[in-house]
Structures are given as C-alpha cells and as structure tokens.
Structure 1
C-alpha cells in the first residue's frame, strides 16, 4: 500500500512539473508575441521660438509612429551645427539655407545637408526710441546680426527701408563696408543675434531675427517698424548629416514637420509673424 502511494505521488509531481513547464513556455511565447518595438529616439537641436515650439507640437504624432523626439534647446546659432556635425545631435532646426552655407564654408564642415523647408520668419526693424523710421535722428545707432548671412540680409532690409544704400550687386553678401550711401550717418553695430533684443535699450534701431524677437515677446507684425516681405527666400530648414536623409525615423520627422497639423499650428499661433514654407 505504501509502495503504491509513493508511485502515485511521483506520478502527480511529474505531471505538475510538465504542466508548469508548459505554462512557462506558453507565457514566453505570449510575451514575445505581445512585445512592442522599442521607440527610436531622435535628438534634435533647435532655438526656443518658434522651432522648439513646433517640435513640441509634433511629439505626440511622432510617438505614435515609434519615434521619440528629444528637443535640445540652444540660445546660439553656432553649437547646433557643430554638435550635429560631430554626432551629438540627429538633426537641427533653427536656420535658413544662406546661413547654413555660410557657416559650413567658414568652418570647413562638409557633412551637413538640409532636407526640408518648414517656415519663413520675416526679419524686422524694431525700436523703443522712435515710432516710425522718419523719426530716426542723425548719427543713430543701429544694431544688426554679426553672422555673415544675416548681416547681409539685415543690410538689404535697411536698404529697402530707405535708410542706407549698398554697393550694386552685393545683395545678401553685403557687409558694413559695402554701404555707399548713409545720409543719416547711422552707426551700424554688429552683435550676436541673440543679443539684439537686449540692445534695444542702447540703440535707436535693431534688425532682429524673428525667433529672437518672439522670444523677447516682440510681435513682428505689430511691433516692427519695417518687415521683410512674406515671400522672403529665407525658409528655415531641417538639417541632418549626409547619409541620414533616408533613414525611416528622419523621414517620419520630415513628414510631421510638413503636415497640415503644423501648417495650422503656425498660422494660428504666430498670426503672420511666422509663415509656412511648404
């Protein structure tokens, strides 16, 4: 009787082990079947306004596509390109093509390429000391961006506003030395672009990039004394390293930035201060 009991006990234990083993295998199979593909993270460098705001807007859309967006905000125009070139970023979004071309040529950077136009930020002339350009006094100080492409752009804008005249043919490549007429003897003061809004306390006029104007709570449409036409060729672009253009995650980012969702966001949030370029 005792022997029979032992045999039955061994049989029961064996069946239990088999059952447990079967359950574990089934659970592993189920877990494997239910496993989700890990999201790909893209680190994108951007200036705060409007670039980072636009990127924040599309984060939920990209997450649904399996792309996690890590937005790294910069306060300057130098580090985003350097860090992208060195592989610390996957993309950047803060600049127009003339600036990209000028910067990469000056620094001998050959591995960056723009892959999508997103928006245009019309550059404007601002003042806290005069209410219109006719009030600008003789010898007034005018601050402008000191990087080559935006310097030329700002000088062209001052020319269109009737304040100076540039040497024929220089266009956006012009420098202060290319000014051939300056009837009010304006003192042109080149500064880092990020410093321009703060310079308004010390100068009569400042020619400010829209991203920094918006960041300083200036409304380009209402507060500027003179502003670029909305057909400005200075579209802000998404930039990546050469060879990454066709990566799936990058293409999803391009699609999101050129979507109707972003078009509507730009038009409603910035009221003409920023204009879609797609």
Structure 2
C-alpha cells in the first residue's frame, strides 16, 4: 500500500508539472506572437493579386520593374501581355484583368463611343510616348516628294496627332479648330498632294518601315521600341512630349474598381521616383513620365 501511495503521489505531481509546463509554453507562444519574434503570423497574410493587361513595350516592361515595389506593398502582380490595341479593353470588360495599361486618353474616348457597353474609366496618367515619323529614303519631312505616301495606323485616335505634326511643318492645313481631333477628311490644303494611308494595324507599321513600304511611316513609340527602333535617333520627326500633350498613357479600370485600394497602390508605385527614374534611364526620352 505504501508503494501504491508513493506512485500515486508521484503521478499526480508529474501531471501538475506537465500542466504547468504546457501553460508556460502557451504563455511563451502568446508572447512570441505579441512580439512578432517567433511567429510567422505576419507572413501568413496572403498578398492580394492584381492582374494588369498591358502591351509588351514599354508598358509590360514598366510593370515588370514595378513588380518588386508592389510586392513590398503586399500586392502580387500578374501581367497579361497583348499585341493588339482592341484586346486589353475587351479583357477588362470581361473582368479577365483588373486593370489595363496600354492606351492614351483619346483612344479610350473612342473606345467608349464605339463600345457603349464598356464602363471603363481612367484612374491616372503615367507617361507619354511621342509618336515618330520614319523613312528609309528621306531625312526630314521637308524632303518628302510630291504625292509621297504616308503610312498611318488605322487608329483614328492617332490621326489628329499625326496630321498636326504635318501642319506644324507647314506641309498641310487642317480645318480650323480641329487639331488633335482631326481626321483625313479635315485636310483643307495639301499642296504636295501627300497620300495619307490610314489602313495599317499599328503593330505592323514597323515591319512596313523595314520593308521600305511608303515614303514615310508613322509608328507609335511602343511598337518602335519593340522592333529595335529608337524614336529619338531613328525617326526623322517626333511630336512634342510637353505637359500639354493630350496623349498621356493611362491606367484604366472598370468603374466599380475606381477606388480599389490595390489599384491606388499601383498608381502610387508607377508615380514613384524609382519608376520615373527607370523610364527616363531605360527609354532616354522615348517614354516620358508624367506627374499627376
């Protein structure tokens, strides 16, 4: 019996000690959680995913640079690339992407007029890509011969900016007040009878230039850069990239996401000094950041 009571007492004491140890361990775990020193609680929070549709150059490249900066803000960026101007807004309307980054303001305005079902809004401007004139045979617009063929994209939103360049050089005259809204039909005087041909998809214009099609080819900077052309060194003329240029490339979303926190963070990162410095150093004036 004496041995039995001794065993019983020892067993009870062991139980108490184990229980106390468990309480102490629990206390230690709670302290660790509070101090954040021995727990991964902060790391357990899943980053939010943001899917952005973009054309390859420079938009996707800019987003790729911003990827690490967004990760620091708890955003896992996924980039969907497109090589067509029509598809990114379709993808946004279908909610296949959360935002897109490829178009300028006049292009979005035209898209909203053409596709009334779109409920897409601009969140912020990011940069300007001056459009350039390229020629294999001539070094300036003044050298273009009579009846020169001028190849342009079929994006009507770009026609005004192209025609304005020619008007500023005194080569054509547009209807009064048209400016960047001008179309081919608004040319009132064309003394050299230039043949403007706006039937080309923007993405294939660099190939038309390389094949020496036309006397001059108007190429958007993103497609020029993507084909190894320097808008500053290879073009014979380039539009201005000052603050008054209306062709600012924008971040766009469906209206219901206009105030989304992740989208706001994306804008903040793209407006940061780090991203602006990247654009200036990487593209040397072919892509000009804007502050808004």
Taking structure 2 as the reference length, the TM-score comes to: 0.84
The equivalent of 1:68 in structure 2 is 76
Aligned partner of 1:248 among 252, 258, 261? 261
The equivalent of 1:79 in structure 2 is 87
Q: Tell me the SS of whatever aligns to 2:199.
A: strand
Q: Tell me the SS of whatever aligns to 1:243.
A: helix
TM-superposed deviation, 1:130: 2.3
TM-superposed deviation, 1:141: 2.1
Q: Give yes or no for the alignment of 1:239 onto 2:263.
A: no
TM-superposed deviation, 1:3: 5.2
Q: Which runs of 5+ in 1 are unaligned?
A: none
Aligned partner of 2:111 among 94, 103, 106? 103
Q: Tell me the SS of whatever aligns to 1:62.
A: helix
The 2-side partners of 1:273 and 1:39 are apart by 34
The 1-side partners of 2:171 and 2:199 are apart by 16
The equivalent of 1:222 in structure 2 is 233
Q: Give yes or no for the alignment of 1:193 onto 2:202.
A: yes
TM-superposed deviation, 1:264: 1.1
The 2-side partners of 1:153 and 1:132 are apart by 17
Change (3 A) 1:40 1:132: same
Q: Tell me the SS of whatever aligns to 2:286.
A: coil
The equivalent of 1:205 in structure 2 is 216
The equivalent of 1:259 in structure 2 is 272
Contact 1:144 1:191 in 2 (8 A): yes
The 2-side partners of 1:261 and 1:276 are apart by 11
Q: Which runs of 5+ in 2 are unaligned?
A: none
Q: Tell me the SS of whatever aligns to 1:151.
A: helix
When structure 1 is superposed on structure 2, of 132-141 and 81-90 the one drifting more is 132-141
Contact 1:141 1:189 in 2 (8 A): no
Q: Residues 43-65 of structure 1, C-alpha deviation per residue, up to 9 Å, x if partnerless? A: 00111111111111111111111
Q: Give yes or no for the alignment of 1:59 onto 2:67.
A: yes
The 1-side partners of 2:265 and 2:116 are apart by 29
Contact 1:138 1:186 in 2 (8 A): no
The 2-side partners of 1:245 and 1:187 are apart by 39
CA-atom RMSD in angstroms: 2.5
The equivalent of 1:170 in structure 2 is 178
The 2-side partners of 1:206 and 1:20 are apart by 80
The 2-side partners of 1:172 and 1:132 are apart by 22
Structural mapping, 1:88-167, within 5 Å = 88-167=96-175
Change (3 A) 1:25 1:84: farther
The 1-side partners of 2:148 and 2:188 are apart by 17
The 2-side partners of 1:48 and 1:152 are apart by 24
When structure 1 is superposed on structure 2, of 10-19 and 259-268 the one drifting more is 10-19
Q: Residues 237-272 of structure 1, C-alpha deviation per residue, up to 9 Å, x if partnerless? A: 111111322222111111101111111111111111
The 1-side partners of 2:96 and 2:135 are apart by 38
The size of the alignment, in residue pairs, is: 278
Contact 1:117 1:237 in 2 (8 A): yes
Change (3 A) 1:198 1:24: farther
When structure 1 is superposed on structure 2, of 69-78 and 131-140 the one drifting more is 131-140
